[in-house]
Amino acid sequence: MAKINPFKAVRPVRNKAHLICSRPFYTYQKTQLKSKLESNPYSFLHVINPEFNQSNRCKPNSTERFELIKNKYQEFKKNKFLVKDKKPIFYLYRQTTNYGIFTGIIAGACVKDYQENKIKKHENIIDKRKKVFKKYLDTCNFHAEPVLLAYQPSNKINEIILSETSKRPEYEFTTTDKKSHELWLIDGAKKINEIVKEFEQLDNIYIADGHHRIASCSLFQKSNPKHEKGNYFLSLFINQNDLKIFEFNRIVKDIGTLRKNDLINNLKSYFKIKKLKKHESPSSKREVSLYIENVWYLLEVKTKALKKDLKSNLNSQIVSDLILKRILNIKNLSSNTNIEYIKGNQPIHILSKRVDQNNKSIGIELFPHKIEEITSIADIGENMPPKSTWIEPKLRSGLTIYEY
């Protein structure tokens, strides 16, 4: 049984929604961020970056910095850029991209469901990151970017979504990353009750994106047990079959004294290797493509090199275990600065160009995971390797804000 809750969102006034909502600030390069902040006074990026163009800056992730964020947020509300809904409702969000259309319900997800493993994780949680966002919640008391939660297919929820999206949306705008965004308000008591009851029939919810934010919300709830709003956290619920899962490719910046021929010979212990005339992507979870010194190789793992358990047969785990750890002796993958991660929704030439700049580096192209692999790993309580997936949709900050 999954428990979800309607809430009173703080959200942009209609005529400024396209100006206020932003990508998460960490997705912008410094030059992009500067340009956005200089050209758009309404961007939610000003809330997250309240010290823009100031010479004296607070220490990152400090209480003083978070106080400035809170003050800027209150300024946006005072100027009526953001307004709060008068009653608790659900929100229906649709994002249209060139690789898929994603529709889900924005709601409060239950912290207790996470603590009782009804909302299941598949990534390891870094304690430091969890505590930083918990400090942010303690100071700012709002959550502006939904975590992405995947649910098992439901005919009833599909019917409600089709019914609601036939109406005119509250917001409808397109952003410079060529994505369109639509938001509907589900404010009828009957529909709200139908959604609540339908989610009560769902046994498992899976975290698609936002592991650390959820862990932080859980920590916040435990330290504020009498805070009613702390029992929930801002989430977008989406049918798990509607997610688009890309791989996260790897660049090893420096393979040390190991030469190409030695590397290839070492790899032959675990892989069948085919030298390619031009780039080919892996075509199954048993394959990866490797790029070194302007040459692509297709690697197919040997059956005898694999254990029989589910985790060992994951494509990302094969790369971690057999290439990074055994051959290159790279450990502590979540914090190792010798590895750079490249999103799989970007052209492969981005990876090859980076490798070409350094003759001691290699590139590894992975095969994207299936949702069934993610849910199966979560079901058995295991974690996938760091940066195993890049999952779309990525959500905008400041569209629907949950206040604590």
| Weakly modelled stretches of the chain, pLDDT under 70 | none
Rounded Cα distance between 150 and 100, Å, is: 16
Q: Domains of the chain (ranges plus CATH)?
A: 4-244+392-403 (no CATH), 245-390 (3.30.1760)
End-to-end Cα spacing for the chain = 24
Task: Measure the CA dihedral 95/172/50/140, to 10°.
Answer: -70
> What residue type is assigned to position 212 of the chain?
H
β-strand partners of 102? 95
The confidence score (pLDDT) of residue 56 equals: 83
Residues 6+ apart with CB under 8 A from 346: none
Chain centroid, CA 135 distance in Å? 21
Contacts of 369-374 spanning 24+ positions with Cβ under 8 A: 369/245, 369/247, 369/285, 369/314, 369/315, 369/316, 370/245, 371/150, 371/240, 371/241, 371/243, 371/245, 373/285, 373/310, 373/314, 374/122, 374/206, 374/208, 374/245
Output the pTM of the full model: 0.94
The confidence score (pLDDT) of residue 349 equals: 97
Residues 188-229 pLDDT 10s: 999 999 999 999 999 899 999 999 999 999 999 999 888 888
The tokens describing 155, both together, are: 């005919």
The confidence score (pLDDT) of residue 332 equals: 85
The confidence score (pLDDT) of residue 202 equals: 93
